[in-house]
A and B are shown apart, each in its own frame.
Chain A
Amino acid sequence: MLPFLQNANHLQVLDLCNNSIQSEGLNLMFRALRNSPIKMLNCKGCGIETIEIDSDHIPKYLTDLDLKDNKINADGCRGLANALHQGDTTLSTLWLQNNRIDDEGVEILVDVLQNNTSLVNLDLREKNDISNQGKISLLKLVNDISSITATLQSNHTLAYIAVGKEFYVYMIRMMWKSCSDSISVWLPISII
């Protein structure tokens, strides 16, 4: 498959979900797709645990990476951090629900996302093992209240972080739709 991918000059979407490509397959595939125009890559349920990506081997135009239902842990998050670390990274959506990401993994992602201005959607729902401490780290990432400077330098790109119950995410999405022109709608929500 690698020769095909290396020469796929018009491939923009590749769906490999529920195949057993595992970590080695993903790493090889990334290298093969480096110069392709691929934008969306779906590797849901592919048995991926760790990711070893050099920043030179990330597809240049990749915007949407679906890695849900894998076995990604803190080591896997380190590999993903490389993908998000580049100055010219294009990745805007990262699906990571139902993996093995714990607070350590969250810290790694939070560290790299402090200076990332491309990632808009991050999904960490379902079986990930993220405690309240991990959620506090995510909160500090998008709104650090320790000083005025910290607030102004928080991540202002992430528009959607899903963590925890699915119902809650649904509720937020509905509110986005119905009240997208008003921020004040959020003030009473904290009282609910």
Chain B
Amino acid sequence: MEELLRQHIGMATHINNLSENNPEAAGRDKMIHTQLNSTQRAELADFQGVNRSLYSEINPLHLPEVLSLVGQHHGQGELYVALRSSIAGVISTVIKKQCLHPNKEHITGP
């Protein structure tokens, strides 16, 4: 546990070091490398006593962009995990009537 704690401290300070004088970049990198990585987040959440999902905080309209970042930085395995956690939010952005309307026209004809 102690070793893992030091590794996480080391990772965060390493990001600070790379983003010298640019707090916005450091914050963004911490979001990508810890909040958007399920393994890293689970370890950090365990240490810090956090037990709620990250995706409950995100406006569903921003989810496609967030999921794109997950895929870009952590690969398809992580993207699958992220989709599983956020799928309800993603689907809530779909306007069902508009989706169904063209299909209805296609079936019944003009």
Contacts and interface: CB of A to CB of B under 8 A. Distances in A.
B18 A142 contact: no
Interface string A154-167: 11111111011000
Interface in B28-71: 29-31, 33-35, 37, 39-41, 43-45, 47-48, 50, 54, 57-58
B26 interface: yes
A43 B10 CA distance: 27
Given A135-B2, A135-B5, A152-B31, A147 B57 contact: yes
Q: Which of A140, A143, A148, A157 has the most CB of B within 10 A?
A: A143
A159 B13 contact: yes
Contacts, number: 118
Interface residues of A, number: 39
A2 interface: no
A168 B57 CA distance: 35
A172 B31 CA distance: 21
Contact of A139 (B5, B17, B54): B5
A145 interface: yes
A132 interface: yes
A129 to B, nearest CB: 14
Contact of B45 (A138, A145, A156, A192): A145
Contact of A148 (B3, B10, B58): B58
Contacts of B44: 139, 143, 145
Interface residues on B, range: 35 or more
A154 B19 CA distance: 13
Interface stretch (A6-14, A24-32, A81-89, A180-188): A180-188
A146 interface: yes
Contacts of B39: 190
Contacts of B19: 156
B16 A152 contact: no
Interface of B: 1-20, 23, 26-27, 29-31, 33-35, 37, 39-41, 43-45, 47-48, 50, 54, 57-58
Interface of A: 117, 132, 135-136, 138-140, 142-148, 151-161, 163-164, 168, 172, 175-176, 180-181, 183, 186-187, 189-190, 192
6 contacts: A142-B13, A146-B50, A148-B57, A180-B17, A181-B18, A190-B7
